[in-house]
């Protein structure tokens, strides 16, 4: 069971890397555009294969996205990196506060 979950997770990471989702923001935006172009024909192909009748009007249109993926990606990276950069300092502060609390309890 664990091997199956690990294999699926590894496959998901590989596919994300292979499609350019783990690259720069520009590569991620290109991968999204590619997915938006590919997904409706793929859904139609699968519904035809399964024998389901789905009219084009029944399929929802792909959402229009109005913001910059690269800017959002960069903001997320900056947020994570700033949190990681202050993590050792915060850990030391919390450790000192914890020791003070324990010492006050022992008194």
Centre a 10 Å sphere on the Cβ of residue 74 and count the other Cβ atoms it contains: 13
Give the DSSP per-residue string, 54-72: --TTTSPPPPP--S-HHHH
What is the C-alpha to C-alpha distance for residues 98 and 19, in angstroms, rounded to an integer? 46
Per-domain boundaries in the chain: 2-59
How much is the pTM? 0.32
Question: 72-94 pLDDT, tens per residue?
Answer: 777 888 888 888 899 999 999 99
- Give residue 41's pLDDT: 75
- Give residue 100's pLDDT: 94
Question: 51-66 pLDDT, tens per residue?
Answer: 776 555 555 666 676 6
What is the C-alpha to C-alpha distance for residues 8 and 79, in angstroms, rounded to an integer? 29
Copy the structure tokens of residue 55: 């009219």
């Amino acid at each position: 069971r664990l091997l199956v979950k690990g294999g699926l997770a590894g496959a998901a990471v590989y596919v994300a890397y292979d499609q350019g989702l783990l690259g720069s923001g520009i590569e991620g935006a290109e991968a999204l555009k590619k997915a938006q172009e590919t997904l409706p024909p793929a859904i139609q192909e699968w519904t035809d294969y399964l024998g389901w009748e789905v009219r084009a009007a029944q399929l929802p249109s792909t959402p229009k996205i109005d913001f910059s993926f690269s800017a959002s990606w960069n903001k997320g990276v900056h947020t994570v990196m700033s949190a990681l950069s202050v993590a050792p300092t915060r850990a030391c502060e919390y450790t000192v506060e914890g020791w003070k609390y324990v010492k006050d309890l022992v008194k």
